[in-house]
Amino acid sequence: MASVALATDPALVVVVDDDALFRESLGRNLSDAGFSVIDFGDGVSAVEYFDNGGAADLVLLDWKMPELNGIEVLRMLRERHNDVPVIFLTVLSDQIYEESALLHGAVDFVEKSRSFSILLKRIELITLGTRRGAGGGGDLADQHGSVRLSKLELLPDTSRAYWEGRQVDLTLNEFKIVEYMATNAGRDVRYRELYDLIHGKGFVAGAGKEGYRANVRTFIKRIRQKFRDLDPAFEEIENYPGYGYRWRDDKSKTT
């Protein structure tokens, strides 16, 4: 895992984009907003930075870059077990790119055409979560701050999840979704609830008025696969077609 700066220091954002003017403009806006910024003009330099022990609270990553594109950079970071949060910031707006980014472990996907104020809200939510952990824990939290439900154990302070004692390699946003559903086990949770949980209320993404559903489905698909990698019989996350999902509790098992 990449280390992060102390909570008393400005959050450190790494910008990776081959457009020098865009990097300069974005870097200036981030600095004015109180962030520390390091930027790279190519993916190779960014990967080398982290390989050499570089730290970050967040990476803003372009998709289309020479030599190493953004998805290749993300894949290399995850293969090195570096779980630094990554937001794709790109001109590519097709849903297939967003789904690919999320399935490879990005925490968000924002079009470059969005205003900086929109991007800033996303950055603040993610860096705050990175430094403080997911928080909460609901009524299932024990005296040690962990959340237990059947084979699942959650540690909100460190955003770690365990299934039958084995760690599930969840990103911060994936952890938030699992924690929210698990602490509301047996209750149907709307797509919009889960979307707002990770994006903040009022944020809009995806094609059409309800494009957020595809975004949530991608997250759920990835979460299910991570649990099934540990336990092929995992079926705790149930569909409610057209509405959302639920985390099955011991009293509401269905076939």
> Residue 122: its pLDDT value, please?
80
The pLDDT averaged over each successive group of 10 residues in the chain (255 residues) is 52 95 94 95 96 93 91 92 88 75 80 84 74 42 65 86 90 88 92 84 56 84 92 93 86 40
**Cβ atoms of residues 152 and 141 within 8 Å:** no
Residue-wise pLDDT for 87-104, tens only, equals: 998 887 667 777 778 777
pTM tops 0.75: no
Q: Tell me which DSSP letter residue 9 carries.
A: S
Q: What count of other Cβ atoms lies within 10 Å of the Cβ of residue 26?
A: 21
pLDDT at 99: 78
- pLDDT tens track for 167-182: 898 887 888 899 999 9
Domain annotation for the chain: domains and CATH numbers: 12-132 (3.40.50.2300), 138-247 (1.10.10.10)
Can you tell me the distance from the alpha carbon of 128 to that of 244, in angstroms, rounded to the nearest whole number?
Answer: 27
Side chain identity, residue 64: K
Q: What is the CA radius of gyration of the chain?
A: 18
pLDDT at 10: 85
